């Protein structure tokens, strides 16, 4: 395969630091599997141990990266903001945040203040172990909401973050699933016409809740286009703490088993697909507009 035709896969695990059982699964998928990137939640009380875990894996020679999983829908904010929270001080649910965003009544100044606080917290934690913030995405794709997307991309560029997730999939990675097509059309309606932050493609919506996750990943790898593609995954272990906060539970363990399977590594090798993290794959011609890529 020529250099120009290389396919690079960035397997990114969302929800690092969400609850300990999820963090444990993500760290296993990095240490024993094909995950090379994770998105860190910094407002849930478990971020420090998660960062230490990634640092230990990096010290064993695995080139793992960590970005910010911006979160304004679960837990409590780092910066007090009554316009984003309920009377108890917890973030409003996703439905309420989305409704306000579409009605243009979401307090965008408060959103930006929280984003800056979370990004600063992520940078502080990662600085202690010598790692940069490699990307920004968000819990429940809230960074795609009207008004929020512009804030996230502007702040990311200001801080030299190499990548912001653009969660619009091509038909080739949707695996002909109607539910995935519907979700992708919704996301395309939100961000499809907005300028991309870089040229890294996205996939993963079609794999969520799949009972055949292992086989689906293999199909996806076989159909990857040339260039770099992010595969969004959610490995982890179920636990009472997770059950209290999130409905995505049993599928996390199914994803973990697949992502640590030696057979999946063999599939990648047979396809000639390279594993990477964000930052290390950023095109040099675009680096000046996004800050120097990590690892360059």
**For residues 142-165, average pLDDT:** 96
Distance CA 30, CA 39 (A): 12
Contact present, 54 and 38 (Cβ < 8 Å): yes
Question: What pTM did the predictor assign?
Answer: 0.89
Question: Within a domain: residue 248?
Answer: yes
- DSSP lists the bridge partners of residue 91 as 85
Owning domain of residue 105: 3-290
Whether residue 182 is predicted with pLDDT greater than 70 in this model: the reply is no
Question: Within a domain: residue 53?
Answer: yes
Q: What is the mean pLDDT of the chain?
A: 88
Question: Within a domain: residue 135?
Answer: yes
**For residues 287-291, average pLDDT:** 32
Question: Within a domain: residue 281?
Answer: yes
Question: Within a domain: residue 295?
Answer: no
Whether residue 33 is predicted with pLDDT greater than 70 in this model: the reply is yes
The pLDDT value recorded for residue 178 is 55
Catalytic residue among 14, 198, 238, 246: 14
CATH code assigned at 73: 3.20.20.370
Question: Within a domain: residue 179?
Answer: yes
Closest CA to 35 of 20, 18, 16: 16
Cα 127 to Cα 48, 54, 198, 283, distances in angstroms: 12, 13, 24, 24
Which residues, in sequence order, are CB contacts of 74 under 8 Å at separation 6+?
A: 18, 41, 44, 91, 139, 245, 246
Distance CA 171, CA 161 (A): 28
Whether residue 210 is predicted with pLDDT greater than 50 in this model: the reply is yes
Neighbours of 151 (CB within 10 A): 18
Question: Within a domain: residue 241?
Answer: yes
Catalytic residue flag (residue 198): no
Whether residue 76 is predicted with pLDDT greater than 80 in this model: the reply is yes
Q: If phi over 0 gives left and psi between -120 and 50 gives alpha, with beta otherwise, what is residue 182? A: alpha
Contact present, 9 and 223 (Cβ < 8 Å): no
Tokens of 268: 């990648």
Contact present, 33 and 261 (Cβ < 8 Å): yes
- Encode pLDDT of 217-231 as tens digits: 998 898 888 899 999
What are φ and ψ of residue 221, in 5° steps?
-60, -40
Distance CA 268, CA 250 (A): 25
Question: Within a domain: residue 166?
Answer: yes
Whether residue 236 is predicted with pLDDT greater than 60 in this model: the reply is yes
What are φ and ψ of residue 133, in 5° steps?
-85, 115
Distance CA 64, CA 277 (A): 6
Distance CA 92, CA 139 (A): 13
The pLDDT value recorded for residue 6 is 84
Number of domains in the chain: 1
């Amino acid at each position: 395969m020529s250099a120009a035709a290389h396919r690079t896969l960035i397997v990114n695990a969302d929800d690092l630091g969400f609850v300990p059982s999820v963090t444990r699964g993500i760290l296993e998928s990095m240490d024993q599997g094909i995950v090379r990137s994770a998105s860190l939640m910094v407002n849930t009380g478990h971020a420090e141990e998660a960062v230490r875990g990634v640092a230990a894996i990096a010290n064993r020679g695995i080139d793992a990266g960590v970005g910010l999983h911006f979160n304004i829908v679960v837990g409590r904010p780092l910066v007090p903001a009554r316009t984003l929270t309920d009377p108890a001080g917890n973030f409003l649910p996703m439905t309420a945040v989305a409704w306000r965003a579409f009605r243009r009544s979401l307090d965008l100044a408060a959103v930006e203040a929280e984003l800056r606080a979370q990004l600063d917290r992520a940078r502080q934690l990662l600085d202690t172990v010598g790692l940069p913030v490699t990307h920004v995405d968000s819990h429940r794709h809230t960074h795609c909401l009207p008004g929020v997307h512009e804030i996230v991309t502007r702040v990311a560029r200001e801080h030299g973050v190499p990548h912001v997730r653009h969660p619009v999939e091509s038909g080739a990675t949707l695996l002909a699933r109607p539910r995935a097509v519907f979700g992708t059309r919704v996301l395309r309606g939100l961000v499809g016409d907005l300028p991309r932050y870089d040229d890294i493609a996205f996939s993963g919506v079609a794999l969520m809740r799949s009972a055949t996750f292992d086989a689906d990943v293999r199909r996806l790898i076989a159909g990857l286009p040339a260039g770099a593609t992010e595969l969004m995954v959610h490995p982890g272990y179920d636990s009472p703490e997770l059950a209290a906060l999130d409905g995505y539970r049993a599928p996390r363990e199914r994803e973990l088993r697949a992502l640590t399977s030696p057979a999946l590594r063999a599939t990648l090798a047979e396809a000639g697909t390279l594993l990477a993290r964000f930052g290390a794959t950023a095109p040099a011609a675009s680096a000046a507009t996004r800050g120097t890529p990590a690892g360059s």
